[in-house]
Chains A and B, each alone.
Chain A
Amino acid sequence: MSIYLPIAELSVNILIILGMGAAVGFLSGMFGVGGGFLITPLLIFYNIPPVVAVATGANQVVASSISGAITHFRRGTIDIKLGTVLLCGGLVGATLGVWLFSILRRMGQLDLVISLLYVVLLGSVGGLMLWESIGAMRKTAKNKPTQLRRPGQHNWIHGLPLKMRFKKSKIYLSVIPVATLGFCIGILTSVMGVGGGFIMVPAMIYLLRIPTSVVVGTSLFQIVFVSAYTVIVQASTNYTVDIVLAFVLMIAGVIGAQYGVRVGQRLRGEQLRALLALLVLAVGIRLSIELIIPPKDIYSVVSGGDGSR
């Protein structure tokens, strides 16, 4: 059963797209991640043009993050003030990212940059997570108490100026590192089609020392707005958001996520993190193989272009 994607301009098997959406939804529900970092590479492996995969991936992220964001909002576990500072950085980053995206696309280097960024990011984040979770599992095995952070410990980030009081998080922190973090995540959202939660959450916990209770909700708050903004900007500058593809993915994704959450609740935190780390590494390795092995044809042809290179 095939379906024609009007923006990607190709026919795909709808069952494969549904399966992809459901599988990524299941994993994102299980691990509590947005799943953008899985959906975009999967779409690229399935020959969807990377430009469409990235912009459409951002749209899928909106759908998969919104219900989590609403839940956290109801529970009051979002620091709106902190989220807004993150968001301001994020919007600037996303704007710059879409601009970079257009330039790289015109130069014909977009596919390479997307793959490289994924390899570097997935490799390092996956590696760090695996290291940390194995360490935690060892400690639990030896019956030592696990301690993610020691309260009261400060690093250089807390010496920066422009401090602001975030009541909900009960911290007094400079806006510079917060907005910078948002800015970086904004670039990643627009260039890679990811929400960026898998980077933002550890960065908020370990670097900014924001209490874990508000971290997930606040990061979801930022992700929803930045990815929604990215979708609109991508749609109006690059015309690469495929609404048919996005809709099929998000329908399957939100259903898959419901079942993923149930499985995730039965696994222990560090086991979950180790599994996620392995998954992240596997996607990164798959992408890096693509970069290293000789392509089927060393030439490629794209339509358009004005000869200016």
Chain B
Amino acid sequence: MIRLALLALLAFGGAAQAGAQPQPQNGDFTEKLEIGTSTDEIAITSDFRGADLTIFGAIDGSDSNLLAQGKYNVVVTLEGPKDNATVRKNERVFGIWVKTLSMTFELVPESYSLASTRDIGTIAPPRVIANTGIGVDHLRLEPLGLIGDGGNLVEFRNAFRRVREDSGVYQRDPGGVQFISSSLFKASLRLPANVPNGVHFVHAYLFRDGMFVVAKALPLRVVKTGLEQAITRAAHDQPIIYGLFAVALAIMTGWGASVVFRKD
């Protein structure tokens, strides 16, 4: 449904959002990257089961020879809002599993999806990829507070990535970006059902022959709508009234049932 809607939007509006936020460009390159998303807002409704986001982009000033040889590669990421994340390790204590050690990483994205024309390992040398910070493996994971000698830092970082990937909030799709003409590309990203609310960022990175050329970013808002939003807002802004309402609802339901089902 959402995908259809996005395509329909595209047919009418084209890359409506294209051209926002120009970013500094490497002096050695003449290529420019333009991207657009068919929507700048994803609504979480009561039947939300995830959504597909399609991102369109164009490479301007490209070298047609290099294009023909497939030397251009594009990586598109969708980075969720950032929050601290605490990793806890379970250990067996007296026969039961107890969380013992923990480490908190500072401001990491709540979700992260990546689509690329090829596997990112084959797009550019590891050092180049690491510099751009693309990919779950290159997310900045800085521990907060005291971590002792830091001997288990690698262990906790790896665990963090693995847990987030297993739960589907961090994902990658090599092949998720396709060229639809010589210089136009389309990227499909899947937003999981448990996608966090807030402002997400679409980043697109262009590589030429293993070298990073230029990047572009666009915001994407993921918002609860209608009743869901009203409930969340009430729960946080008017918690006592919300609590009273929850109790009133329970009293009405319980009392109502006893009236409806009364035999006499």
B242: contacting residue among A235, A294, A305, CB under 8 A: A235
Write the chain B residue with the least CB distance to A261. Answer: B261
Judge whether B261 and A303 touch: CB under 8 Å: no
Contact B254 A67 (CB under 8 A): yes
Chain A residues contacting B110 (CB-CB under 8 Å) are 303
Are A239 and B239 within 8 A (Cβ)? Answer: yes
Q: With contacts A241-B242, A301-B163 known, is A307 near B84, CB below 8 A?
A: yes
Residues of A contacting B231 with CB < 8 Å?
Answer: 6-7, 243-244
- Asked whether, in the complex, the Cβ of A60 is within 8 Å of the Cβ of B88, the reply is no
Is there an interface contact between B246 and A63, defined as CB atoms closer than 8 Å?
no
Residues of B within 8 Å of A71, CB to CB, are 258
- Identify the closest chain A residue to B50 (Cβ): A11
- Inter-chain CB contacts under 8 Å: number: 199
Q: How far is the CA of A6 from the CA of B98 in the complex (A)?
A: 29
Q: How far is the CB of A60 from chain B (nearest CB, A)?
A: 7
**Which stretch from A138-146, A161-169, A209-217, A251-259 is at the chain B interface?**
A251-259
CB distance A65 to B254 under 8 Å? yes
Q: How many residues of B contact A (CB 8 A)?
A: 65
Determine the interface band of chain A, counting residues with CB < 8 A from chain B: 35 or more
| Contact indicator B48/A294 (Cβ below 8 Å) | no
Q: Is the CB of A60 within 8 A of B49?
A: no
Which A residues are CB-close (under 8 A) to B137? none
B197-255 at interface with A (beta carbon < 8 Å) = 197, 224, 227-229, 231-232, 235-236, 239-240, 242-247, 249-251, 253-255
* Interchain CA distance A7-B229 in the complex, whole Å: 10
Asked if A148 CB lies within 8 Å of chain B CBs, one says no
Q: Is the C-beta of B162 less than 8 angstroms from some C-beta in chain A? A: yes
Asked if B153 is an interface residue, CB under 8 A from chain A, the answer is: no
Residue of A nearest to B46 (CB): A4
Q: How far is the CA of A62 from the CA of B166 in the complex (A)?
A: 37
A297 to B99, Cβ gap below 8 A?
no
How far, in angstroms, from A308 to B87 measured CA to CA in the complex? Answer: 13
B175 sits at the interface (CB 8 A): no
Alpha-carbon distance A116/B138, docked complex (angstroms): 39
Question: In the complex, what residues of A have CB within 8 A of residue B256's CB?
Answer: 254
A75 to B10, CA, bound (A): 67
Residue contact A64 to B254, C-beta cutoff 8 Å? yes
Closest partner residue, chain A, to B82 (CB atom): A303
- In the complex, A20 has a CB within 8 A of chain B: no
Residue contact B163 to A295, C-beta cutoff 8 Å: no
Given contacts A231-B243, A300-B90, A305-B84, contact A108 B99 (CB under 8 A): yes
Q: List 5 other contacts, CB 8 Å, given A59-B247, A292-B95, A303-B110.
A: A232-B244, A235-B239, A236-B239, A254-B256, A291-B96
Q: What residues of chain B have their CB less than 8 Å away from a CB belonging to chain A?
A: 44-49, 83-92, 95-99, 102, 104, 106, 110, 143-145, 156, 159-160, 162-164, 166, 193-194, 196-197, 224, 227-229, 231-232, 235-236, 239-240, 242-247, 249-251, 253-258, 261
Q: Mark A residues whose CB is within 8 Å of B.
A: 1-4, 6-7, 9-11, 59-60, 62-67, 70-71, 108-109, 112, 116, 228, 231-237, 239, 241, 243-244, 246-247, 250-251, 254-255, 257-258, 291-292, 294-295, 297-309
